[in-house]
Amino acid sequence: MKLATLPKLILILLLINTVSVWANCLEGPRHHIFLLHGIGGNKTTFGSLEEILNKQHPCQKARTFEYRTGSQLTTYDFAQDFHQYVTSRSPGEIRSFDKISLIMHSQGGLVGSLWLKLMNQLNNPLLKQVDSFITLSTPFWGADIANIGKRFFYTLPPGVENPISPFGRNELNEMSYGSSTIQDLAKSLDTVFGHAPQIRPLIIGGMKKYYNSQLGEDDVVVPTYSMRPERFYFKDILDFFAKPRLITAEGFEKNPEKPFIIVPADHINLGQYGVADIPKGCSRNLDCGHPALRPILDHLKGTTVGPTKNYGLTRFRVTMFVNNPHTVSFDHKDLTIMVHGLDRLTRVPFIERFKPRLGNAKLEHGLAFSFGGVSERKGISKILVTLKFKNKSIKTYEVPVEAGLSSFIDVDLAALN
């Protein structure tokens, strides 16, 4: 036998042995781990993570789901595609007593979240088999970079795609503050977790190397207040002609906290580790220094993962959706908000307070306001947001805000009699 043929023979034997071991996991549960990349990403997003996971246990199988980012599709389309990908596995591959886990980077966390929602709507039994739900710098509540991307890549008329853009217009719109996708998740995500209490979330966020409060709290792309699925939320109905009212902070709901850690990593490799990009050397030595690898492996095994560093977060964001389900006719320019009730520990920058970002993302009917601020207070602060029509105050909301979190006011315009 020629020596040159030995490596090929060894590889074939290893592949045969791996298939055989997986096939022999007949009695105990198999653990199916799906990796979902983000916008503009692909299988290389996770570096050697898939390889590492497949070495951990003979009955554990990791695979990356690649979807058509950069197209005119939406995260809902990607969630449908992922559903087809999972449910079309060969007969008997995912059995009723097997476990399913998701590891998702960036937009992949939105796709995975919408897949959970879809599974819940379909009452699909696979939902009860989902174990770990690990997100890596997912922009649950939006990111500035989405608006930058739209201005950079999409200055052409709607429907005319930029052929060199790695990002789809709809994808960028969905990750803009105040999008209908964000609104959907703010209302529904915790309902899904409530129907599947066995799901074990782990929220991992990256923090850029040169962190300080002036430069912002993010991984260069996604702010920390967007990485966490916790939020304050209030649903309301608004009548243009009702007497002005004050809605107190007690009316807002805060959903249960989920395990959240911040690690020193960028969104992608920009001078320090990319939060999802596991170097090749880590496949030989798990103590390779990548800050997210050990938390991922520990969480998959059921070990409690604790925070690695206290970054002393201060930033928060408030978003108001004004929905128009009855298509009430009015000039959008006549609807404004005023941010007030601030103090030295809770501040909103001048430009954010007096020129809040209006209509950053498309709502099917209505518009959205969104602004960011800083809270140096421990725990919850309260600020006032007054909605005005033709400069007349309609309703004032006492909004609870907290460093590192987002708050939402979701308002439906009442029908005009």
pTM: 0.89
Q: What is the pLDDT of residue 212?
A: 65
Please tell me what DSSP assigns to residue 2.
Answer: -
Q: How far, in Å, CA of 386 to CA of 338, rounded?
A: 5
Q: What is the pLDDT of residue 139?
A: 96
d(CA 148, CA 154): 10
Instruction: Please check whether residue 302 is in contact with residue 294, taking contact to mean a CB–CB distance below 8 angstroms.
Output: no
Asked if 204 contacts 259 with a C-beta cutoff of 8 angstroms, the reply is no
Give the whole-angstrom CA distance, residue 224 versus residue 174: 18
Conformation bin of residue 322: beta by default, left when phi > 0, alpha when psi is -120 to 50: beta
Can you spell out the DSSP letters for 4-50?
GGHHHHHHHHHHHHHHHHHHT--SSPPEEEEEE--TT--GGGGBTHH
- 3-class DSSP state for residue 151? helix
b/e sequence 94-105, b meaning 16+ C-beta within 10 Å = beeebbbbbbbb
Q: Which CATH superfamily is domain 3-231+255-301 in?
A: Alpha/Beta hydrolase fold, catalytic domain (3.40.50.1820)
The tokens for 51 are: 């390889």
Q: Quick one: residue 247, left, alpha or beta (phi over 0 = left, psi -120 to 50 = alpha)?
A: beta
DSSP state of 257: P
Q: What is the pLDDT of residues 242-293, one digit of tens each?
A: 889 999 999 999 999 999 999 999 999 888 999 999 999 999 999 999 999 9
211 neighbors 384 (Cβ within 8 angstroms)? no
- Print burial letters for 310-344: b (CB count within 10 Å at least 16), e (below 16): ebebbbbbbbbbbbbeeeeeeeeeebbbbbeebee
pLDDT digits (tens, 9 = 90+) for 130-141: 999 999 999 999
315-413 has CATH 2.40.160 classification: no
Beta-strand ranges (E) seen in 86-153 are 99-105, 130-136
Contact 242, 342 (CB under 8 A): no
Report pLDDT for 17: 43
Nearest of 260, 142, 127, 253 to residue 201 by alpha carbon: 260
pLDDT at 10: 45
Secondary element (H or E) of residue 173: helix 169-174
Residue 148 is predicted with a pLDDT of 60
CB atoms within 10 A of CB 414: 15
How much is the pLDDT for 160?
A: 60
Domain-wise residue ranges, the chain: 3-231+255-301, 315-413
Asked whether 263 and 275 are in contact (CB, 8 A), the reply is: yes
Q: Encode the chain (417 residues) as per-residue pLDDT tens digits.
A: 554 555 555 444 444 444 445 556 877 899 999 999 999 899 999 999 999 999 999 999 999 999 999 888 999 999 999 999 999 988 889 999 999 999 999 999 999 999 999 999 999 999 999 999 999 999 999 998 876 655 545 555 655 655 545 567 788 889 899 999 999 999 998 888 989 999 999 999 999 987 665 667 999 999 999 999 999 999 999 988 888 999 999 999 999 999 999 999 999 988 899 999 999 999 999 999 999 999 999 999 999 887 767 788 999 999 999 999 888 888 888 889 999 999 999 999 988 877 665 555 667 778 899 999 999 999 999 999 999 999 899 999 999 999 999 999 999 999 876
Count CA atoms closer than 13 A to 5's CA, side-chain side. 2
